[in-house]
Amino acid sequence: MDERVIQALIKWPQVPECRGWLAIDARGQWRMRNEYAQEHHLAGDIIHQRHLIEYIERNRCYDWATQEWFFQNGPQKVYLSISYTPFVARLFNQTLTSTCGNPLEPIECYMDEEGHIIFQCESLIQVAKAGDFLKEKHRFWAKLHDADLEEFSRIAEINTSCGLLGEVQLKNKKIAIEQTRMTDIKAQPGLLPSSRNS
Instruction: Based on the fold, state whether residues 42 and 110 are members of the same structural domain.
Output: no
Instruction: Based on the fold, state whether residues 112 and 179 are members of the same structural domain.
Output: yes
Each residue of 89-120: pLDDT tens digit?
999 999 999 988 889 999 999 999 999 999 99
Domain end marker among 20, 49, 82: 82
Q: Is residue 130 part of a domain?
A: yes
Instruction: Based on the fold, state whether residues 78 and 91 are members of the same structural domain.
Output: no
Could you tell me the residue range of the domain that residue 103 belongs to? 87-192
pTM of the model: 0.85
Each residue of 55-76: pLDDT tens digit?
999 999 999 999 999 999 989 9
Instruction: Based on the fold, state whether residues 129 and 57 are members of the same structural domain.
Output: no
Q: Is residue 198 part of a domain?
A: no
67, amino acid identity: Q
Structural domain count, the chain: 2
Instruction: Based on the fold, state whether residues 148 and 175 are members of the same structural domain.
Output: yes
Spell out the residues 6+ positions from residue 141 whose beta carbon is closer than 8 angstroms to its own: 85, 86, 87, 118, 119, 120, 121, 185, 188, 189, 192
Instruction: Based on the fold, state whether residues 163 and 117 are members of the same structural domain.
Output: yes
